[in-house]
Amino acid sequence: MKVKKSIFLVIFLSLVFFLGPNVLHGRQEKETSQEKEKLKLHHEIVVTATRLETPALEIGNAIVVIPAEELRKQGLATVAEALAQLTHCFLTQNGGAGAAASVLLRGANSEHTLVLIDGVEVNDPVSPSRAYDLSHLLLADVERIEILPGAQSPLYGSDAMAGVIHIITKKRDLHRFTLASEAGSFSTLHTNMSIGGKLKGISYRLSGARFQTGGVSAASSFYAGNKEKDGYTNTSASGHLFWPLGSQKEIELNFRYLKARTDLDNYGGPYGDDPNNQQDMDTFLGKVNYRSLSLGSRWEQRISLSFVLNSRENSNPEDATHPAEREEGRFKSCFFQFDWQNNWFLTENHTLTFGVEQEQEEAESDYLWLSAYGRDRSYFPAKKATSTGIYIQDHAKLSSSFFLTAGLRADHHSRAGLAVTYRLAQSYFLEATSTKFRASLGSGFKAPSLYQLYAPATFWGPIGNASLKPEKNFSWDIGLEQILFHQRVIIQLNYFFMRFRNLIQFDYASGYQNVGRAETWGWQLEAYMKPFSFVRTNLNFGWVKARDLTHQTPLLRRPDFQAKAEFEIKFSPSWKLLFSVTRVGEREDIDYSNWIGVRVKMPGFTLARAALILWPENKFSFHLRLENLTNCRYELVKGYGTPGFSVYTGFAFSF
Ligand SMILES: [Ca+2]
Ligand SMILES: [Ca+2]
């Protein structure tokens, strides 16, 4: 009933806004947006691949850019949902919205991808492998997401082994006010708003969002005993201040806060249900950035200081089905980052970037589990590690069509010692045939996490190992991008290869050891086509092989094949229709439902979605989206639930 009410409310508000005067102004914006689409890909400015604003044409890496505005207009609420639209990575989630989400980029483990929010590293120091849980990040204030696959440690240091996911938020909005809301299946209601403007020369943007859903059962309801739905609420706020100090200097302030509560189950598979197992998450991120130009605009300095505080509490009291079982957990971490980046615009053709980065991570946790079998406590006392990195890079325009980026970096971790990494990326554009050839190679590393270094031994044996060394990898890729028929067709083909060594793996006898080796390789084929001015299609194929070389087994949860076909029909400026089909291939997982984990083959699945957007170019828009059209029954992680067919509707409004 609650959902129906919400849907009516959304439709009502939509009509009120539609009948308002604002809709009349929308038409003029049409041209600029079409212009933008024409310039797609090739003149886009990206920042992640060189730490500089650089046209995509000059980038030797296979960078993927997700424009968030487009996804928001369709009603998507989270960064995880946005990443799930790609065939470049695979997103796994232990249940519905709010459940732990990992992104497996180019077949690598999730902890081997570094996640940045406006340049701030957010991989969680208290997570056993310092991975980032993507489930709580809302799309509301995101401008775009840049994904830079491949070993990128020379740019960003530790953790950037399989690539970097950079979430770039909106800073200066054209709009003074925005409001968007959506309601739909599973009692989902999502609302976000922002205000922006200028006050005494200082630009500001403040935004807030609230997402709540009744959810699906985390332990899949396809198995016996799982009837209880697991809901999720998320309240997020973010702000940005921009203060120009004359024409050559500026200060920026960023903050982001999120508070989330996720209902959990005890495990996936049969009888995993638990009515009162829940997790509370609090995160605060802050950043101050100073930027100046000197020596006749030849020398740019960016000095930034940032921090991230994470706090997570798990609580699972006794209940009717588990009268003797209780769980309590507290996890805390903080991360500080200082970066001094210098860009020397030596000549028109060379930009030299060099700098120093200092980081400190701190974490502690306490976890208690009581059951009929006894009492188990895992206590991790507060531990700290620091690391210092120095980096240098030359981005060179060797001719009007040949670009080269070369970088070198040395990082020193307070416990694990030194890691030196390098990268080389080149891009060549053959004007005569509109063909871009690109190639890149690089090395990466990941310093051991605090838990891997210092987790105290238990009755069962050692865990942490203070003499661990950094994990290392090497990657290369080549690609081709062909533009045909005046950008009506763009085809991209990429091949990549990555080899990992010194991987930290847990051994029951000796705790964590640098013993693992793995290899991943694959192809990515993308075709963008605009056969008519009102039709746009995107075809994406990703093939990945990911192997554990130590045990000679496929890495878990990596589909060997993913394909996606997307069609967009825009009949007039007042409505467009979107339809997409995604096919995910077979992959291996572990089934824990019979005490001992057994390797199982997970079947492939097909998901179809459709979205109707009314007045997509207007200040006011209205959408209706249908997810999992065929009500496909599938699992991302063995035993965990996923939503079936669902319907959402909402509006967005700005002035
Ligand atoms: Ca449940
Ligand atoms: Ca319980």
Domain-wise residue ranges, the chain = 2-654
Query: Which residues share a beta bridge with 301?
Result: 292, 342
CA–centroid distance, residue 98 to ligand 1 (Å): 13
Cα(85)–Cα(30) distance, integer angstroms: 26
* pLDDT tens-digit series, residues 405-445: 999 999 999 999 999 999 999 999 999 999 999 999 999 99
- Non-local CB neighbours of 464 within 8 Å, separated by 6+ positions: 451, 452, 453, 454, 455, 456, 457, 511, 512
For ligand 2, the distance from its centroid to the CA atom of residue 637, given in whole angstroms, is: 22
Q: Could you tell me the distance, in angstroms and rounded to a whole number, from the CA of residue 219 to the centre of ligand 1? A: 5
Question: What is the number of other CB atoms lying within 10 angstroms of the CB of residue 152?
Answer: 30
Ligand 2 centroid from CA 315, angstroms: 8
CA of 376 to the centre of ligand 1 (A): 24
Q: Would you say 164 and 148 are in contact if contact means Cβ atoms under 8 Å apart? A: yes
Taking the C-alpha atoms of residue 300 and residue 53, their distance in angstroms, rounded to an integer, is 12
Give the Cα-Cα-Cα angle 387, 392, 398 (nearest 5 degrees): 155
pLDDT tier at 20 (50, 70, 90 boundaries)?
A: very low
Least distant ligand from the CA of 327 = 2
- CA of residue 271 to ligand 1 center, whole Å: 9
Ligand nearest to the CA of 328: 2
325 C-alpha to center of ligand 2: Å? 7
Please state which CATH class domain 2-654 belongs to: mainly beta
- Render pLDDT for 117-155 as a digit per residue (tens, 0 to 9): 999 999 999 999 999 999 999 999 999 999 999 999 999
Instruction: Find the 97 Cα to ligand 1 centroid distance in Å.
Output: 13
Distance 369 CA to ligand 2 centre (A): 11
Is residue 73 very low, low, confident or very high in pLDDT (cuts 50, 70, 90)? confident
The rounded Å distance from CA 379 to ligand 2 centre is 21
Nearest ligand (C-alpha, residue 96): 1
- DSSP letters along 376-432, please? EEEEEEEEEEEEEEEEEEEEEESSSSEEEEEEEEEEEETTTEEEEEEEEEEEEEEGG
The pLDDT of residue 34 is: 39
What letter would DSSP give residue 43? S
Query: Residue 16 above 50 pLDDT?
Result: no
- Nearest Cα to 567, choosing from 524, 612, 634, 619? 612
Q: For residue 452, give the H/E element and its range.
A: helix 450-454
272-310 pLDDT tens trace: 999 999 999 999 999 999 999 999 889 999 999 999 999
For residue 264, the CA-to-ligand 2 centroid distance in Å is: 10
Distance (angstroms) between ligand 1 centre and the Cα of 184 equals 20
Dist. CA 596 → ligand 1 center (Å): 22
Ligand 2 geometric centre to CA of 317 (Å): 5
